[in-house]
Structure 1
């Protein structure tokens, strides 16, 4: 069943504020070629809105129909035919929305008209806020908006249902049909009783599992409660036995007596420790007095020994210094003389060095003056060469292009040829002598020969005329010659020359100028080399800037230039003399250093001996002035005897205190106290535990825990058996559902056969030798070429777009067989196709237009203007 759109009118619809009218659409191929921004895509949107969008909706899509910045009601009118029956749809949105459908049986309006359109065109009511192409049915698939055909997509469920009966008739299967749907629905209902949609445990199976788990937990809890009661009886007996043991320990009097004995021993030990400390202090004081007197005597002895040794060292150092001081004085005199000579040599070297530097400055100035003079000469030469270069470039620029020259020479040859042909075929007359009464076409004959190219009257006088008729064709030859001369003159005039020879001369001059330009460039480069001596870089611009920066002082040359070689020789001699005197001075310094090194330890030894002697004499005087020095030996003996007696008394006190240790006795008393405290604490805790256990046994013992545990175990076993039975039923239903799904998938592959055959009929022309693979929802998934499978998403954008169009044609053919209204609209199609593919797709679309109406909306006139069919303009 073909659908033919005939007329579309959109008013106040997006950019169409004034009525936009498209009419005259034919039944075959229709081509709408308009520039960008004309409203081709808006036309398709208006067509979809007029047929598929409910008139009463005010969603986001309907709001977008209103022109920007205006508050008006969008309106769409559509006229079309289906199987020869004419239909007219008029729809108004947003403000006073309305719909009227006129068909073979009269008019319908409002919601009834919406339902009539749905039944006529096979689409569903959409609840989306935006355009829902899947709900538009077959025409949603076949009316392709701009960019929508860039990827291959699956047909909607409406389209798949439309072709299902055709597919079932071809494959001979009920899978996917009504019978399959009924069976599958019953299985799915049972599946939902046991499983979640994702295949996890749910429904009755989950309830049975939860009940079994709850019963098991209750049985385990009852068993645990019974076991806890048994443990309470055992624990009570154990606690009561420990209470008896603790009571016996607390009633034992032996620890009390032992503690009293230890307290008495502690008092005795503390008294002995106090005496020991006193004797220790007395011993330490006596020993300190003896040590102090002993150290006093030792210091006096040490000071006397140090005085004797320092006196001997001082005398030895004085004797050795007397020998070395004469050698040091001689070395000092020699170093002073060498230092004066070195200073003189440095002055001579400095004078020579200064003279050489001044001479080099003068030499550099002279070199710079010479380089500046040379630069000025090269600059003058540069100006001459650049002037010549400008002239050569002017001559080169005036050259005539080779193509133009060929044209001139060709015209010249044509003129010569035409002149020769004219001379060969024309009549020449010549008058010899004077005959003023003879005229040519009323004018005086004149001197020289005349070429006759047309009928000419020669007046002979007295009314007589001689008519000369040249051969036929002479006039056309003259006209051709005049035309060639005019064209040649025009060409020469545009070039500003008078003849072709002058043009050749200009070309030759330009050729010579071009060669001369290369020579001049080389010569300019040669005279503009860099001169590092005056910081002059390479290049003509650099040379010009350098010459412009020259001042008068740069051109003043020094009067005389000293002899650099002589001054360098003088500096070299001064350097040698300086090196010699410096070596002599270094030797004198080394001799002085060695003499001073010999004297330095002697000076140090003398100084050290004097210091040691003074210190020893001072220490001896201090010690001998102390009152203890007079009776030092007697006092030292008495102090040592007192220290010995104190040591004997300390040892005796140590022996008395050694048998009784206060700390050991205190630890024993503490141990007895802790043991008694621990026993009392444990007895209190055990008393509390016994009371708690007796209360627990009294409370739990009357609950019948053993009978409850047995009953709970029986309920848990029954719940587990029920869960196992439900699990088995669930597995059976899942297996049945999986079997049906597997069978459906296998049949799906059989379903796509008719689709693949219809699509391959077209795609084979585009991609010869390829095989097609469709998904179960009838979407083209991949193609196989030369044994290699390629997913559609991996193909180029152009190939994807072409495959999308061809698969839509396959579905359109099936829908035609089903008797559904079909037409094909492509907005900006085949934008990524190369020329060969574009021609092939144009042929396929032209052939498709023989079976259905095809409308192409495009801005590419060059690509589609050659197509036969109806060409429509948007008005």
Structure 2
């Protein structure tokens, strides 16, 4: 059965500080279109508060209902129908909280009213007052606030239970019902003692495993200690044997005598090393002197060779440059002649183009003068047209408007009608003969006919005749007078004598309007633009041009030059210049080639001169040294001295090798190391012998063998206990898994009808798709073309549309069960494209034939064409 809201009244609720009433809600589609910040979401929140929030709650959500800064009691009233019965609820929060529910069973207040309301709507009490929509039952799923619009989520437990109860008769199973939950809760309790939610071992299993680990550790420790005691006896004997060997080695004095001999040999080796160092230094000095003299001789020889080579190369380069000088000079003369010819051609071209520009300027000036004369003629024509236009506009300005003329005609008709009424009902009197003694209201009667519209008195020879006209005559005369006064006032305001003159004024003005349009078109035609004068189209541009132009502008009586002749001369000059440029470019190319051939030779000549100067300078520097004069004898003596030093150095090396300090030191160090190692080994053995003796003394009387046997027994008992606990836990897990498999199998039977119901709509949105629902009836994915897409991977627009369509599917299942169903959408389809939006609106129209649908939106253009009942918050505020 459908729940249909009829009237909503809100006062002091958040932004609604003044009373607001929403009325006129119908059975089908209702649309409330208002801009943002108008209070659409507040309206829905107020409805949820009225139907589901406890009136006495002081929760933070309830505190937020009061307008900011006001200490008032938010109140909501709602009138609605359920199953054809009319109900109403009134609820106030915070200040003097109250609730009253009225229905077919009468009125109820307080807790009784809350209970009756929850029973009617299928909701449960929200103990914390936090606004949990899962407690609101069916309407909590179908009254969709903005924050839930994009959520494709499972319905609450209340809704799932109702859907299951609806489908249980069809699927023939109670899996998922109360009986299943009782069995499952017991199994889950046992499972929770032995397993974590992720199927990890816990509780008794861990305790039994810990007991086994402790027993095994204790047994291992006992066995280790017993084996250690037995090992200590054998180790003690072995260490004592090792100590005897070490003491015997320490008592041997052979190493001490050997070390004494080595120390004596070390002093001899040090003396030989000093002699070796001296001989090595003497040899290095002699060798350095030989290398210095040899290097000086080699440098002098290379310098003489370099000098000869430089002289030969310089002569060759000078000879090559002489052969190229004539070609370079000839190329330079050709380039100079080409340059002079090019400059002449350029000057001739400049003169020809200057003459052409001057001729073009004279022709342009002549054309401008002709255009200016034509513009002055058009200006005279413009002045005449503007004068006519001013006269026509003056007539238009005095024209009686059509509305005014219609008013005057209406007044004339009113005067005629009033006169006709007066003539038909008035009393008329006329006297014949001698009327000298007759007086009408104190004035002579005369012979003219009079119309009597009011009480009139006629005096006749001392008597008085009273004439009483019909009762309506006076009012008819007043209407006639009023109509005449209106007409005269209107004519006076226009300054016209009568309506005929007004008609003449109107007709003349209408003709003048047509003439104005004609004159404007003629003015536009008479004021075209002219590029020669930089003149834009229009009368203002023409006037501005002639105001700035002098009357004798560019007067020139001479004939304009022959432009074609000047252009031919300029073209001929261009050709001459092109030829001159070609000749000049060719001459420059020849000069560049000659220069390219000559430049390397000039550079080479400079380099050869530099090489010759450097070689000569180096020879002079070497020959000027003092040791150069005796270079040959000095080199012979240096070689002999180096040979003697080499002999002495070799003898010193042989002596030093025979007494090597490093070898002697290593042998001494080895003897010292053996002595230290023996001492350290003795200390360690004595320490280990003492430790083993202490261990044997302390562990020998503790009964380690008996302890090790008892520990092995505890290990066996702990292992048996672990096997029993593990077997029990695995049995519970198997039972739980079996229940899950049975539930999944049964859930598929529940999910099938839900998926079939939802597919009726979603197929239109996503053709060819398959729906995947979880056992909690949540749409998890859609399959298209064999590819599964999770809802969270879809676009926001598609998620929002699926959220609405699945809610509609649930609503229709619950509608069959007889649950109170109503669909409210707050600003839906914010991300929908035009095609999807039209489709969703069509679906809402279809759904509204079976249940009430209310859409709160700010998108006027999107819903403007939708046939629905229109609601407006602003209109409701004015109504209150």
TM-score range, shorter chain: 0.5 to 0.7
Distance of aligned partners of 1:159 and 1:145 in 2 relative to their CA distance in 1, 3 Å threshold: same
Deviation digits for residues 55-105 of structure 1 (CA, Å, limit 9, x no counterpart): 222333223322345332111234556678765543221223233445677
- The within-5 A match list for 1:497-646 is 611=620, 615=624
Task: State the partner residue of 2:674.
Answer: 675
Task: State the partner residue of 2:357.
Answer: 368
What is the rounded CA distance, in whole Å, between the counterparts of 1:572 and 1:138 in structure 2? 98
What is the rounded CA distance, in whole Å, between the counterparts of 1:378 and 1:61 in structure 2? 88
Task: State the partner residue of 1:212.
Answer: 212
- The within-5 A match list for 1:461-860 is 611=620, 615=624, 664-752=663-751, 774-779=773-778, 801-802=804-805, 804-814=807-817, 816=818, 820=819, 822-827=820-825, 838=841, 841-846=844-849, 848=850, 860=863
Q: Secondary structure in 1 aligned to 2:811?
A: helix
Q: Secondary structure in 2 aligned to 1:10?
A: strand
Contact 1:65-1:74 within 8 A present in 2 as well:
yes
TM superposition shift of 1:734: 0.8
Deviation digits for residues 217-239 of structure 1 (CA, Å, limit 9, x no counterpart): 33223333334444444433332
Distance of aligned partners of 1:687 and 1:116 in 2 relative to their CA distance in 1, 3 Å threshold: same
What is the rounded CA distance, in whole Å, between the counterparts of 1:623 and 1:153 in structure 2? 109
Distance of aligned partners of 1:236 and 1:349 in 2 relative to their CA distance in 1, 3 Å threshold: same
Task: State the partner residue of 1:46.
Answer: 46
Distance of aligned partners of 1:787 and 1:106 in 2 relative to their CA distance in 1, 3 Å threshold: same
Distance of aligned partners of 1:647 and 1:42 in 2 relative to their CA distance in 1, 3 Å threshold: closer
Q: Secondary structure in 2 aligned to 1:864?
A: coil
Deviation digits for residues 117-167 of structure 1 (CA, Å, limit 9, x no counterpart): 334433222256653222112332344556867766543212333454443
Structure 1 spans left out of the alignment, 5+ residues: 392-488, 529-543
What is the rounded CA distance, in whole Å, between the counterparts of 2:100 and 2:222 in structure 1? 77
Contact 1:14-1:65 within 8 A present in 2 as well:
yes
What is the rounded CA distance, in whole Å, between the counterparts of 1:166 and 1:682 in structure 2? 92
Deviation digits for residues 779-820 of structure 1 (CA, Å, limit 9, x no counterpart): 466789999999888668657635532431221221x1xxx5
TM superposition shift of 1:735: 0.9
Deviation digits for residues 492-532 of structure 1 (CA, Å, limit 9, x no counterpart): 9799779xxx99xx99x9xxx99xx9xx99x989x99xxxx
TM superposition shift of 1:189: 1.8
Distance of aligned partners of 1:248 and 1:139 in 2 relative to their CA distance in 1, 3 Å threshold: same
Q: Secondary structure in 2 aligned to 1:721?
A: helix
Task: State the partner residue of 1:56.
Answer: 56
Task: State the partner residue of 2:249.
Answer: 249
Task: State the partner residue of 2:348.
Answer: 359
What is the rounded CA distance, in whole Å, between the counterparts of 1:22 and 1:571 in structure 2? 97
Contact 1:338-1:588 within 8 A present in 2 as well:
no
What is the rounded CA distance, in whole Å, between the counterparts of 2:109 and 2:574 in structure 1? 123
Contact 1:783-1:792 within 8 A present in 2 as well:
yes
Q: Secondary structure in 2 aligned to 1:94?
A: coil
- The within-5 A match list for 1:372-391 is 372-373=361-362, 376=365
TM superposition shift of 1:348: 6.7
Q: Secondary structure in 2 aligned to 1:73?
A: coil
Task: State the partner residue of 1:423.
Answer: none
Distance of aligned partners of 1:572 and 1:72 in 2 relative to their CA distance in 1, 3 Å threshold: closer
Task: State the partner residue of 1:175.
Answer: 175
What is the rounded CA distance, in whole Å, between the counterparts of 1:612 and 1:576 in structure 2? 53
Is 2:150 the counterpart of 1:161?
no
Q: State how many pairs are aligned.
A: 696
TM superposition shift of 1:52: 1.0
Contact 1:150-1:804 within 8 A present in 2 as well:
no
What is the rounded CA distance, in whole Å, between the counterparts of 2:724 and 2:337 in structure 1? 126
Distance of aligned partners of 1:701 and 1:835 in 2 relative to their CA distance in 1, 3 Å threshold: same
Contact 2:349-2:573 within 8 A present in 1 as well:
yes
Task: State the partner residue of 1:67.
Answer: 67
Task: State the partner residue of 2:384.
Answer: none
Task: State the partner residue of 1:194.
Answer: 194
Q: Secondary structure in 2 aligned to 1:175?
A: coil
Is 2:12 the counterpart of 1:12?
yes
Distance of aligned partners of 1:82 and 1:350 in 2 relative to their CA distance in 1, 3 Å threshold: closer
What is the root-mean-square deviation in Å for CA atoms of aligned residues? 7.0
TM superposition shift of 1:736: 0.9
Is 2:258 the counterpart of 1:258?
yes
What is the rounded CA distance, in whole Å, between the counterparts of 2:355 and 2:361 in structure 1? 10
TM superposition shift of 1:713: 2.6
Contact 2:80-2:87 within 8 A present in 1 as well:
yes
Distance of aligned partners of 1:179 and 1:566 in 2 relative to their CA distance in 1, 3 Å threshold: closer
Distance of aligned partners of 1:343 and 1:699 in 2 relative to their CA distance in 1, 3 Å threshold: same
TM superposition shift of 1:44: 3.7
Task: State the partner residue of 1:95.
Answer: 95
TM superposition shift of 1:196: 1.1
Contact 1:151-1:804 within 8 A present in 2 as well:
no
What is the rounded CA distance, in whole Å, between the counterparts of 1:169 and 1:224 in structure 2? 70
Deviation digits for residues 695-743 of structure 1 (CA, Å, limit 9, x no counterpart): 2332333333333233223222321222122112111111111111111
What is the rounded CA distance, in whole Å, between the counterparts of 1:784 and 1:338 in structure 2? 91
TM superposition shift of 1:857: 6.5
TM superposition shift of 1:248: 0.7
Distance of aligned partners of 1:551 and 1:210 in 2 relative to their CA distance in 1, 3 Å threshold: farther
What is the rounded CA distance, in whole Å, between the counterparts of 1:619 and 1:789 in structure 2? 101
Q: Secondary structure in 2 aligned to 1:54?
A: coil
- The within-5 A match list for 1:303-314 is none
TM superposition shift of 1:33: 5.6
- TM-score normalised by structure 1 residue count: 0.60
TM superposition shift of 1:178: 2.7
What is the rounded CA distance, in whole Å, between the counterparts of 1:725 and 1:150 in structure 2? 51
Structure 2 spans left out of the alignment, 5+ residues: 382-505, 535-544
TM superposition shift of 1:341: 9.8
Q: Secondary structure in 2 aligned to 1:76?
A: strand
Contact 2:151-2:799 within 8 A present in 1 as well:
no
Q: Secondary structure in 2 aligned to 1:91?
A: strand
What is the rounded CA distance, in whole Å, between the counterparts of 1:215 and 1:679 in structure 2? 46
Q: Secondary structure in 2 aligned to 1:90?
A: strand
Distance of aligned partners of 1:383 and 1:229 in 2 relative to their CA distance in 1, 3 Å threshold: farther
What is the rounded CA distance, in whole Å, between the counterparts of 2:588 and 2:755 in structure 1? 108
What is the rounded CA distance, in whole Å, between the counterparts of 1:73 and 1:131 in structure 2? 18
What is the rounded CA distance, in whole Å, between the counterparts of 1:569 and 1:760 in structure 2? 85
Task: State the partner residue of 1:444.
Answer: none
What is the rounded CA distance, in whole Å, between the counterparts of 2:653 and 2:136 in structure 1? 118
Contact 2:758-2:805 within 8 A present in 1 as well:
no
Q: Secondary structure in 1 aligned to 2:16?
A: coil
Task: State the partner residue of 1:237.
Answer: 237
Contact 2:8-2:79 within 8 A present in 1 as well:
yes
TM superposition shift of 1:375: 5.1
What is the rounded CA distance, in whole Å, between the counterparts of 1:612 and 1:54 in structure 2? 119
Distance of aligned partners of 1:619 and 1:79 in 2 relative to their CA distance in 1, 3 Å threshold: closer
